[in-house]
């Protein structure tokens, strides 16, 4: 490397080299060339397993994304004061009214939920989530999250990528870039959706400015989980193997005198991964071998729960096989978006998600997988304490709840709080960047050191922000 830099700077001695490296412009050139060298080295085998920055607490992430914005004040964050003030304008003591859709002048709306304390921790959960409530001692409940987006497109994008504008890598892409693959026969980052398209679509699991290798792979249910992966009819496994071997031979002949062209080697590797997935992916998503008891645990015996329950079961099967990052969407297309009739809306989606998520937590725990699998729950924002259309709630990015379980997150505790009506994060506000930095930390990655050179700038997952939330794991 020093010889390369000496040639680049046209210096004749080590003394002159370090004089260049110590200057501002020299340091910038050094960083640029080091990053360039790292990028070139990685492109030959971008999915090679890499060492984490520090000892990880989690090997995999399962992100349960409740798209549309679940109401924290009706699920995990009870507000007696809100019920006391129901039907009244918001008192001035809570600050300037804010909402996304102009409902700040509406009266406050209490929660009709019944609440109970569960587990040794005595955490509060409403009657909308009776099955998840039995697992509160495994949950680290973050009650003071906040974000920047007002609408679904920008907010879903930020919760995935850190920015309300599209174009940046998703969290799963950063994890794949930072750690590489743990199983070379399956994608490292998998996305599972229900029967509707996610708001914003594939940009939410995009690799952004990172190489495309690191983007998420969307799985469908059924015997063809990955589109275009099956060989055409009449093409045997032996013929496919022979074709790939011949293609590899041609590519290697072409690249023999072009050692600097690492992109070609990366393409050869991608062909190999596709071939291996033809055998491995169908087995990974084949739940027919699971016991009836296990299927019932996830709610597969109830037609209303079967789609999301199947995805939760698939998530367990995937992390069991070394997939590092699995993201599941519940309510794709903003299903949880309850601007009106929150009672009907949330009753539906809570029922759809309650048993499957509780089943996932129980199954991971009984198999010894919860210790090193980080389960994340939440939406793109919460919902306001104001009534909208008389019986709904507006978007609330200023204060909402998420939770983590397993993977080093300490269960049976709260971190942070919102104000007495659930409008704003109050104690220990946790921004999306803090949330992301903490997830990466549990995976053994330092968000300040996980960088990629783009246009001369060392880009990182949390852009120019992000503070760890050590209360999650200490």
* Average pLDDT in the chain: 88
Which residues neighbour 160 within 8 Å (Cβ) at sequence distance 6 or greater?
Answer: 170, 171, 204, 205, 327
CA distance readout (Å), 168 to 161, 231, 332, 393, 435: 6, 33, 21, 30, 17
Same domain, 243 and 293: no
Which of 80-89, 126-135, 208-217, 218-227 shows the lowest mean pLDDT across its residues? 218-227
**Cα torsion for 66, 67, 72, 75, to the nearest 10°?**
-40
- The pLDDT value recorded for residue 176 is 97
Which of 70-74, 257-261, 297-301, 377-381 shows the lowest mean pLDDT across its residues? 257-261
Q: Is the pLDDT of residue 257 over 90?
A: no
Question: What token pair was written down for 254?
Answer: 């072409």
Q: What is the arithmetic mean of pLDDT over 434-459?
A: 97
103 falls within a domain: yes
Residues 236 and 181: their CA atoms lie apart, in Å, by: 28
Residues 287 and 231: their CA atoms lie apart, in Å, by: 22
Same domain, 25 and 141: no
Percentage with pLDDT > 90 across the chain: 72
- The pLDDT value recorded for residue 78 is 98
Residues 422 and 387: their CA atoms lie apart, in Å, by: 13
- The pLDDT value recorded for residue 362 is 98
User: What b/e string do you get for 64-78 counting C-beta neighbours within 10 Å, with b at 16 or more?
Assistant: bbbbbbbbbbbbbbb
Nearest to 364 by CA among 298, 418, 457, 449: 298
Question: What token pair was written down for 133?
Answer: 């409530």
* Residue labelled with tokens 């995805």: 311
Residues 153 and 260: their CA atoms lie apart, in Å, by: 40
Question: What token pair was written down for 20?
Answer: 């260049």
53 falls within a domain: no
Same domain, 458 and 443: yes
173 falls within a domain: yes
54 falls within a domain: no
261 falls within a domain: yes
CA distance readout (Å), 318 to 93, 178, 263, 267, 388: 49, 19, 28, 24, 40
333 falls within a domain: yes
Same domain, 450 and 373: yes
Same domain, 365 and 455: yes
Q: Is the pLDDT of residue 15 over 90?
A: no
Cα–Cα–Cα angle for 441, 376, 162, rounded to 5 degrees = 65
Sign of CA dihedral 162, 164, 166, 172: positive
Residues 55 and 340: their CA atoms lie apart, in Å, by: 46
* Residue labelled with tokens 């019986």: 391
Q: What are the backbone dihedrals phi and psi of residue 396, each rounded to the nearest 5 degrees, phi first?
A: -135, 95
CA distance readout (Å), 462 to 190, 210, 435: 21, 14, 9
Q: What are the backbone dihedrals phi and psi of residue 192, each rounded to the nearest 5 degrees, phi first?
A: -120, 125
Same domain, 160 and 38: no
Q: What ranges make up the beta strands (E) of 67-193?
A: 115-118, 123-126, 139-146, 189-192
- The pLDDT value recorded for residue 214 is 93
Sign of CA dihedral 434, 440, 445, 448: negative
- The pLDDT value recorded for residue 2 is 47
**Domain span including residue 274:** 230-280
Q: The domain that contains 376 carries what CATH number?
A: 3.40.720.10
Q: pLDDT tens, 318-359?
A: 999 999 999 999 999 999 999 999 999 999 999 999 999 999
Same domain, 193 and 273: no
* Tally of domains within the chain: 3
51 falls within a domain: no
- Torsional class of 28: left (φ above 0), alpha (ψ -120 to 50), beta (otherwise): alpha
Same domain, 74 and 210: yes
- For residue 198, how many other CB atoms are within 10 A of its CB? 24
50 falls within a domain: no
Q: pLDDT tens, 148-158?
A: 999 999 999 99
**Cα torsion for 220, 364, 380, 115, to the nearest 10°?**
130
- The pLDDT value recorded for residue 36 is 39
Of residues 225 and 335, the one with the higher pLDDT is 335
Q: Is the pLDDT of residue 29 over 90?
A: no
DSSP designation for 386: B
Q: Is the pLDDT of residue 21 over 60?
A: no
| Residue finishing a domain among 280, 295, 315 | 280
Same domain, 253 and 318: no
**Where does the pLDDT of residue 378 fall: very low under 50, low under 70, confident under 90, or very high at 90 and above?**
very high
- The pLDDT value recorded for residue 231 is 61
Same domain, 216 and 235: no
pTM of the model: 0.86
Same domain, 236 and 350: no
Of residues 219 and 252, the one with the higher pLDDT is 219
Same domain, 248 and 350: no
Q: pLDDT tens, 178-194?
A: 999 999 889 999 999 98
């Amino acid at each position: 490397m020093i010889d390369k830099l000496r040639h680049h700077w046209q210096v004749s001695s080590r003394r002159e080299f370090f004089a260049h490296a110590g200057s501002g412009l020299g340091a910038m050139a050094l960083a640029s060339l080091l990053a360039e060298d790292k990028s070139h080295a990685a492109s030959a085998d971008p999915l090679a397993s890499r060492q984490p920055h520090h000892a990880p607490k989690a090997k995999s992430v399962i992100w349960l994304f409740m798209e549309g914005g679940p109401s924290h004040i009706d699920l995990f964050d009870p507000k007696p004061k809100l019920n006391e003030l129901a039907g009244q304008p918001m008192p001035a003591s809570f600050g300037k009214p804010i909402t996304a859709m102009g409902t700040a002048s509406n009266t406050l709306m209490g929660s009709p939920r019944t609440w109970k304390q569960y587990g040794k921790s005595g955490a509060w959960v409403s009657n909308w989530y009776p099955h998840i409530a039995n697992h509160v001692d495994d949950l680290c409940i973050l009650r003071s999250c906040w974000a920047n987006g007002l609408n679904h497109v920008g907010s879903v994008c930020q919760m995935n990528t850190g920015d309300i504008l599209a174009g940046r890598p998703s969290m799963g892409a950063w994890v794949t870039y930072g750690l590489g693959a743990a199983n070379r026969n399956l994608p490292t980052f998998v996305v599972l959706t229900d029967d509707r398209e996610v708001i914003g679509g594939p940009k939410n699991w995009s690799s952004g400015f990172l190489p495309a290798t690191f983007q998420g792979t969307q799985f469908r249910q059924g015997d063809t989980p990955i589109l275009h992966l099956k060989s055409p009819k009449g093409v045997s496994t032996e013929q496919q193997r022979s074709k790939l071997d011949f293609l590899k031979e041609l590519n290697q002949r072409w690249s023999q005198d072009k050692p600097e062209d690492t992109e070609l080697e990366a393409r050869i590797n991608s062909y190999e991964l596709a071939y291996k997935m033809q055998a491995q992916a169908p087995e990974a998503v084949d739940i027919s071998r699971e016991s009836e008891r296990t299927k019932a645990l996830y709610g597969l015996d109830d037609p209303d729960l079967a789609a999301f329950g199947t995805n939760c079961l698939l998530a367990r099967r995937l992390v069991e096989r070394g997939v590092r990052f699995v993201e599941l969407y519940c309510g794709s297309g903003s299903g949880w978006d309850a601007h009106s009739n929150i009672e009907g809306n949330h009753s539906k989606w809570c029922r759809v998600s309650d048993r499957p998520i509780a089943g996932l937590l129980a199954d991971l725990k009984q198999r010894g997988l919860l210790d090193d699998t980080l389960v994340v729950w939440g939406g793109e924002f919460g919902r306001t304490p104001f009534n909208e259309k008389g019986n709904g709630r507006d978007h609330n990015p200023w204060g909402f709840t998420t939770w983590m379980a397993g993977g080093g997150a300490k269960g049976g505790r709260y971190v942070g709080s919102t104000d007495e009506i659930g409008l704003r994060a109050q104690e220990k506000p946790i921004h999306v960047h803090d949330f992301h930095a903490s997830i990466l930390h549990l995976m053994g990655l330092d968000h300040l050191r996980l960088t990629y050179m783009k246009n001369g700038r060392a880009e990182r997952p949390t852009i120019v922000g992000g503070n760890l939330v050590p209360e999650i794991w200490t």
